[in-house]
Amino acid sequence: MSRFRKFEKKIRHYLNRLSEIRFKEKLRNYVGRVGILSFFDEVELVDPHPKKLILPCNIGILFCGNFKKKEIHENIVQQLENVYDSFFFNVIDLGNFKFSKKMESKGIKREKYRSKRNHTEKIPLHPTNKFYQVLIDKRIEHKLDMIMAITNLPIYSSEENLIFLFGETHLEHKCCVVSSLLLKEQFYNEKKNEKLFQLRLEKEAVHEIGHILLGRNHCQNDACVMRKSTTVEEIDFKSIHLCPECMDKLEILRNRYNF
């Protein structure tokens, strides 16, 4: 018991100083040494330079996995321009990112994908906070206002009890992650359809960026890109555009920031 108290005391000491990067590193090393690695996944995200939303702004896209990166980036830039018009100065391609060997396995949950198409094997899912921390660091490094990761890894929410997400946004840290695995027809044992896959990815990217701009709530209008989707069919059903109500909310932002 006293040994445990000693660990706890030291961890509290580091936790209270997490706003400094070096204490985050110290904590990471310490929990690794003590052998309570899973503890670290519960730790709050560290954002030494929190961003206030000021518009228009610069946004970066980071890729994690094998993608037709150039094509996808160009298409997303095009769609962000179509939907959000003058909200972004630049959409910067930040290239590829890979988790270190140590980070790769951290926080993994193995779950079956339950759907009518019956997947039986367990799939390793990654917590969204793993992506958020990388995104926060990159956002600061590249002096960006908001940032998005596109990954082929399946994800689960670190915030809510949700698994196999298409994407998630962290409003406070101005970052979001979109996972592509479930957007692929092959995942459902259907024939590969690159065009459909890319359109789904673009819709989900526009949707998550929409959360950073418009907030947490989903739109109830059927065809609006801000409608919540829990299946690919729902993604296919909605359009890539904002409904008039959501457009009005953008207008309010435009007026507030005077552009």
Tell me which residues are annotated as active site.
208
**91 contacts Zn ion (rule: CB under 5 A):** no
First to last CA, the chain: 60
Q: How far is the CB of 151 from Zn ion (least distance, A)?
A: 17
Q: How far is the CB of 31 from Zn ion (least distance, A)?
A: 32
Say which amino acid occupies 226.
M
Q: Which of residues 197-236 bind Zn ion (CB under 5 A)?
A: 219, 221, 224, 226
Closest to Zn ion by CB, 31 vs 243, is 243
Closest to Zn ion by CB, 74 vs 236, is 236
Closest to Zn ion by CB, 24 vs 203, is 203
Using CB atoms within 10 A of its CB, is residue 41 exposed (0-12), middle (13-18) or buried (19+)?
A: middle
- Residues with Cβ within 8 Å of 239's Cβ and at least 6 positions away in sequence, in order, are 223, 224, 225
What angle, rounded to 10 degrees, do the helices at 194-214 and 69-84 form?
50
* Structure-token pair, residue 126: 């990654």
Q: How far is the CB of 236 from Zn ion (least distance, A)?
A: 16
Closest to Zn ion by CB, 27 vs 61, is 61
- Residues with Cβ within 8 Å of 45's Cβ and at least 6 positions away in sequence, in order, are 129, 132, 133, 136, 170, 173
Distance, CA of 210 to CA of 227 (rounded, Å): 11
Q: How far is the CB of 144 from Zn ion (least distance, A)?
A: 21
Tell me, by CB under 5 A, how many residues bind Zn ion: 6
Part of the chain binding Zn ion (CB under 5 A), chosen from 5-13, 77-85, 116-124, 240-248? 240-248
Binding site for Zn ion (CB under 5 A): 219, 221, 224, 226, 243, 246
